[in-house]
Amino acid sequence: MAQDSPKQEGSNYLLLFIVAGAVIVADQWSKATVLAAMPLYHSKVVVPGFFHLTHVQNPGGAFGFMAAQSPWVRKLLFSVVATLAVGMIFYFYRQVPRSFRWLSFALALILGGAVGNLIDRFRFGQVVDFLDVFIEGIGHWPTFNVADSAITVGIAIFVIHLIFRRLPE
């Protein structure tokens, strides 16, 4: 590793905690607002034919994965997976040189999203979703939330680093 790009040190975890913390706060605030303002399955049109706020709750993972399993199986599986993911994020974050700011940012987004959804799983046994995007007459994307968005953006940044071979050695 080049000397001008030392690995993250304890003080550089500040970016990780600020970004992940901001994602968690925005995610939990938005979910609390939806829970307080919208009955389950209620929908409000934001952009006709494209975007609604729709209160749903997803007991499964992405795209309803494992939704049919018993609550204790889901809680155990998603808790183990989230714990492993958090551990891996801390490990990888420590390996990222300071010069790879976008990659560090991506890992922080993924961490914040994972923790935001994990909080829901412990509180409610499922995840509160409300962002409903579709193109009328063409297709409908599964309803998602702020945490899911952060994870998706973080993974996209990571993939861009992979494609352009901008990963630390």
Q: Which domain holds residue 155?
A: 40-139+150-163
16-57: pLDDT as tens digits: 999 999 999 999 999 999 999 999 999 999 999 999 999 999
Residue 169 lies in a domain: no
Residue 86 lies in a domain: yes
Residue 44 lies in a domain: yes
Q: How many CB atoms lie within 10 A of CB 53?
A: 18
Percent of the chain scored above 90 by pLDDT? 60
Regarding predicted confidence, which is higher, 71 or 112? 112
- Catalytic residue selected from 27, 120, 132, 148: 148
Residue 51 lies in a domain: yes
Tokens 């600020």 found at: 18
Residue 123 lies in a domain: yes
Instruction: Say how many domains are in the chain.
Output: 1
Residue 108 lies in a domain: yes
Residue 30 lies in a domain: no
Residue 106 lies in a domain: yes
148 assigned to active site: yes
Residue 58 near residue 145, CB atoms below 8 Å:
no
- Catalytic residue selected from 27, 120, 129, 132: 129
